Chain A
Amino acid sequence: MSETVTTSETAGTGGHGATIELENLTKRYPGSSGPSVDNVSMEIRAGETVVFVGPSGCGKSTTLKMINRLIEPTGGRIRIGGEDVTDMDPVKLRRRIGYAIQSSGLFPHMTVAQNIALVPRMTGWPAGRVKARVEEMLDLVGLDPGEFHDRYPRQLSGGQQQRVGVARALAADPPVLLMDEPFGAVDPITRDHLQDELIRLQHELHRTIVFVTHDFDEAIKLGDRIAVLRERSHIAQFDTPEAILTNPADDFVSGFVGAGAALKRLNLTRVRNVEITDYPTVAVDDPLQEIFNKLRSSGTNEILLLDKLRRPYKWLRRGDLMRARGSLARAGTLVSDTVTRDATLRDALEAVLTDNAGRVAVTGRRGEYEGVVDMETLMNSVRELLEADRLEAAEARAELEAARTDRTHAEQEGDDRTGGKSGEVRA
């Protein structure tokens, strides 16, 4: 019971999430020459999603596993929600930290419901509350409780298993969620869905999420901040995705970002953030003469025909109308692709590039017409975005310089104090 209380208290410290502070965290395996994780310090804010990304073997997974002490650190401190957890009982600690791994880690001999109920049961929730919680969690991850409650993991698809894995990790309402390449083993389409789901979940829950991946695109998509790690878990850069894309700290980071940083930047902005132009439209019931008039008065060469539900239906050109001879049934070209306001600029660009006239209709929630995005709008927006990023990065750099100078000053003045502090850490 007392654990439940602690959990809710910890959850209370940062809204829903809790801060995680790593201080000089080190892991040295006996028999190996150098440490696997060398002196990592970082501060993760409550409710933010931080992604550790780096080449395989760089120690990102080891660093993650030290947070819930699946791997015991050889040196350094870990604080969660301000509380030092480096020496607390690891079993109790782990019940307060959600943990989701690659290939879901569901126990095959337990049903979906039993898997999800594990942690709440272990922390001593009453049976009624556990039951209600299982239903709630299934709902949360988008699985119908009636259908999936009594299934066994092997009766689920990879994506569904992964959802249950996330539900299990979140079941006891932990303020912190650790995810170790959770979407590494599913196919690209499912992975995309799961990433979207995670973004939606995090929007509702505001947990502190630490996510490990080697896929930089996944990092950009999910992370509020990204820590690019090089060997021994040295932090090459720890910043927002925008900043890393436009202003990589060094060659290692830019190498990892890979080619096409500007293109990747498009993933970070949604259609709703750019200007959507209004386009002349007509309804499918309008008389032909009215359509002619509208086209003439609009001054454009083309007009968008909407169906009865105001969804984009056909593009009509002047020539199409001339040849139509009184019926629109065969005139114009069908609208092949539309994007929503939530689509990324990359999706929009894709649609614009495949459209033979270089524009795509933007639709609302139920597919109704909202506007049009064309090549020119996109190019202008991207140019503005990159410019803004560059400016921001320059500012951040200046601030960092200033802070560093301050610190150097402080250190020079108070050498004794710093010496004493590091001594304390070692003890």
Chain B
Amino acid sequence: MSFWEYLGNRHQQLLTDAFQHAGAVFQCMILATVLGVALGAVTYRSEWAGNLATTATSTILTIPSLAMIGLLIPVVGLGVPPTVVALTLYGLLPIVRNAIVGLRGVDPSLVDAAKGIGMSRVARLARVELPLAWPPILTGIRVSTQMLMGIAAIAAYASGPGLGNEIFRGIASLGSKNALNQVLAGTLGIIVLALLFDAAYVVVGRLTIPRGTRV
């Protein structure tokens, strides 16, 4: 069976897997963004806390993904929970780091002006600092998403959802006639998804970066 025939026969299964893969990455990204930006906003003003947050999240990233999922299984069980926890944790680093860099990069005279005209701490963060730090944060989100696309494939190891199942099935039956097709379909599917997400982020950037700060 050629690769194209395989795709034709299995497109139903492949689409479901792709959809689940995208869904998992998307939802984990939202979680990671909320957590990452919050972590950045809480720590950026202190040299010490900011560095701690960056170091902690980059340490997470150095744990091999297979090991991470393996370690999570005894704690949260099989299936969706370890996938969500692992993906969210991996997604944090680029977002936290860019949030801290972005927030620290806001022109101090603007922060001074915001304070001077009577904006409260929360208003300053929500209406001045975060909007101005948004472009680097969005870049962080983009990098994070690309990374999670790949890592999400490992989730199949813990019976998680997504295109990883296809790859793992292929690897498990190496030598059979469809093994290569399976691995290939899973991998290419992930690449296509990653490109689609990246295109979506360009659109998101267009819509959410205020005209006044767009270069």
On A, residues with C-beta under 8 Å from B are 68, 70, 91-97, 99, 101-103, 105-111, 118-119, 122, 152-154, 168-169, 178
Question: Judging by beta carbons under 8 Å apart, are B119 and A91 in contact?
Answer: yes
Which residues of chain A come closer than 8 Å to B119, judged between CB atoms? 91, 118, 122
Supposing A109-B210, A109-B213 touch, asked if A103 and B117 sit within 8 A by C-beta, the answer is no
Number of interface residues of B (CB under 8 A): 19
Question: Judging by beta carbons under 8 Å apart, are A109 and B131 in contact?
Answer: yes
Is B113's beta carbon under 8 Å from chain A?
Answer: yes
Which residues of chain B come closer than 8 Å to A154, judged between CB atoms? 212
Supposing A103-B109, A122-B123 touch, asked if A108 and B117 sit within 8 A by C-beta, the answer is no
| Leading 4 A-B pairs by shortest Cβ distance | A105-B113, A152-B212, A95-B118, A99-B116
Question: Judging by beta carbons under 8 Å apart, are B115 and A94 in contact?
Answer: yes
Query: In the complex, what distance in Å separates the CA atom of A97 from the CA atom of B116?
Result: 8
Partner of B116, one of A70, A92, A106, A153: A70
Q: Which of B113, B118, B131 counts the most A-chain CB atoms under 10 A from its CB?
A: B118
Query: In the complex, what distance in Å separates the CA atom of A102 from the CA atom of B109?
Result: 8
Question: Judging by beta carbons under 8 Å apart, are A107 and B114 in contact?
Answer: yes
Which residues of chain A come closer than 8 Å to B5, judged between CB atoms? none
Smallest CB–CB gap between B134 and chain A, Å?
A: 8
On B, residues with C-beta under 8 Å from A are 109-110, 112-120, 123, 128, 131-132, 210-213
Supposing A122-B123, A153-B212 touch, asked if A105 and B118 sit within 8 A by C-beta, the answer is no
Question: Judging by beta carbons under 8 Å apart, are A119 and B213 in contact?
Answer: no
Question: Judging by beta carbons under 8 Å apart, are B112 and A95 in contact?
Answer: no
Supposing A105-B109, A105-B110 touch, asked if A110 and B212 sit within 8 A by C-beta, the answer is yes
Question: Judging by beta carbons under 8 Å apart, are B212 and A109 in contact?
Answer: yes
Question: Judging by beta carbons under 8 Å apart, are B118 and A94 in contact?
Answer: yes
Question: Judging by beta carbons under 8 Å apart, are A101 and B116 in contact?
Answer: yes
Supposing A108-B212, A109-B210, A153-B212 touch, asked if A94 and B109 sit within 8 A by C-beta, the answer is no
Which residues of chain B come closer than 8 Å to A122, judged between CB atoms? 118-119, 123
Which residues of chain A come closer than 8 Å to B118, judged between CB atoms? 91-97, 119, 122
**Can you sample 5 A-B contacts with CB below 8 Å?**
A95-B117, A105-B112, A107-B128, A108-B132, A109-B210
Query: In the complex, what distance in Å separates the CA atom of A110 from the CA atom of B117?
Result: 15
Query: In the complex, what distance in Å separates the CA atom of A134 from the CA atom of B116?
Result: 19
Which residues of chain A come closer than 8 Å to B213, judged between CB atoms? 108-109
Question: Judging by beta carbons under 8 Å apart, are A91 and B116 in contact?
Answer: no
Q: Which of A108, A110, A111, A119 counts the most B-chain CB atoms under 10 A from its CB?
A: A108
Question: Judging by beta carbons under 8 Å apart, are B116 and A152 in contact?
Answer: no
Smallest CB–CB gap between A102 and chain B, Å?
A: 7
Supposing A108-B132, A119-B117 touch, asked if A101 and B210 sit within 8 A by C-beta, the answer is no
Which residues of chain B come closer than 8 Å to A178, judged between CB atoms? 116
Query: In the complex, what distance in Å separates the CA atom of A72 from the CA atom of B98?
Result: 32
Known A70-B112, A94-B118; 18 more pairs at CB < 8 Å: A70-B116, A91-B119, A94-B116, A95-B118, A97-B118, A99-B117, A101-B113, A103-B109, A105-B116, A106-B113, A107-B110, A107-B113, A107-B114, A110-B212, A111-B212, A118-B117, A122-B119, A122-B123
